Amino acid sequence: MLEISNTVNGDVSEVKLVGRLDVKAAKNADQAFTQAVEASKNVVLDMSELDYIASAGLRALKRLRSDVSANGGTLVLRGVQSNVMELFEMTGFAVMFTFE
Amino acid sequence: MRSIIVPANDEDPTPVVEFVSEELEQYDYSSRALYQIEVAIEEILVNIVSYAGLTENDGIEIRCGVFEDPLRAVVQFIDGGIPFDPLAKEDPDTSLEANMEREGGLGIFMVKQLMDDVSYVYEDGKNVLTIQKNL
């Protein structure tokens, strides 16, 4: 189960993910990410309450990164939990993103 | 080991994750170990649904047990689909360039990295993939 909320503040969309970004949820996340990119140039993804991600979720984040870059904006991943961060590092995806 | 059967055309990991979590409930496991088992379950189910050539009328049998010395969870995925050894493939290049170009291909690599042991055998007309994770 994944809850996604999106707050637009000027030229920044802040998207908060709560729960599990599994292979099913990745499809909903794609839609929310597209809306965020259409709403603002820059995106901050609050992942502090995201407990789970696997490869389908990582691919959704890669697509978001590509869309934000194509828009000339920046993407920041905020508050990534340690279990989740380990997967970014293991797969080499960590170098694609800016974390804070 | 106890077992359940899930539909072979559904990659949703939730029923299997719940089954395995229940099996582990009475043991002292780390949340990190459970998280990594959950990731392995999702990646393996996605793989079977993608490559085994099964339909909604087929099932995937999941067996789970906990063994000691060392304390470890064992999960088996058994399907009657096309013989397919997911471990035969070389590990992917995880450089930035390769990751940007490639769509997919990381799932089984993650399983191999996260689990303490992963083995595959084709026997009695079935693919049997076994993962073990020290708790």
Q: Model ipTM?
A: 0.91
Mean pLDDT along residues B94-107: 89
Nearest CA in chain A to B94: A92
Nearest CA in chain A to B108: A55
User: How far, in Å, are A11, A39, A62, B16, B71 from residue B132 at the CA level?
Assistant: 47, 45, 30, 15, 10
Q: In whole angstroms, what is the distance from residue A61 CA to residue A57 CA?
A: 6
Q: In whole angstroms, what is the distance from residue B110 CA to residue B53 CA?
A: 23
When the candidates are 1.20.1250.20, 3.40.50.2300, 3.30.750.24, 3.40.710.10, the CATH number that belongs to A2-99 is: 3.30.750.24
B28-43 tens-digit pLDDT: 999 999 999 999 999 9
- So what's the pLDDT on residue A46? 98
Residue B6: both structure tokens together: 């899930």
Q: What is the mean pLDDT of chain B?
A: 94
Residue B7: both structure tokens together: 């539909």
- So what's the pLDDT on residue B105? 86
- So what's the pLDDT on residue B10? 86
In this prediction, what percent of chain B has a pLDDT beyond 90?
84
Which residues are CB-contacts of A58 (< 8 A; sequence separation ≥ 6)? A87, A88, A91, A93, B106
- So what's the pLDDT on residue B49? 92
Scan residues 22-81 of A and list those with Cβ closer than 8 Å to B. 22-24, 51-52, 54-56, 58-59, 62
Mean pLDDT along residues A15-33: 94
Q: Domain ranges in chain A?
A: 2-99
Closest alpha carbon to A37 in A1, A3, A2, A61: A61
Angle CA B92–B96–B98, to nearest 5: 40
User: What domains can be seen in chain B, in order of their start residue?
Assistant: 2-134 (3.30.565.10)
**CB–CB of B43/B99 below 8 Å?**
no
Q: What is the mean pLDDT of chain A?
A: 95
Angle CA A78–A75–A39, to nearest 5: 110
Q: Is B13 in CB contact (< 8 Å) with chain A?
A: yes
Of B39, B48, B96, B114, which to mutate for an interface test with A (greatest number of A Cβ within 10 Å)?
A: B39
- So what's the pLDDT on residue B108? 95
Mean pLDDT along residues A21-43: 94
**CB–CB of B50/B60 below 8 Å?**
no
B15 prior amide bond cis, ω within 30: no
Mean pLDDT along residues A13-39: 94
- So what's the pLDDT on residue B104? 82
Q: CB–CB of A93 and B99 under 8 A?
A: yes
Mean pLDDT along residues A61-73: 96
- Residue carrying structure tokens 């380990």: A86
Rg, Å, chain A Cα set? 12
Q: CB–CB of A22 and B107 under 8 A?
A: no
Least confident of A13-27, A52-66, B44-58: B44-58
Mean pLDDT along residues A3-23: 95
In this prediction, what percent of chain B has a pLDDT beyond 70?
100
Q: CB–CB of A55 and B104 under 8 A?
A: yes
B55-86 tens-digit pLDDT: 888 999 999 999 999 999 999 999 999 999 99
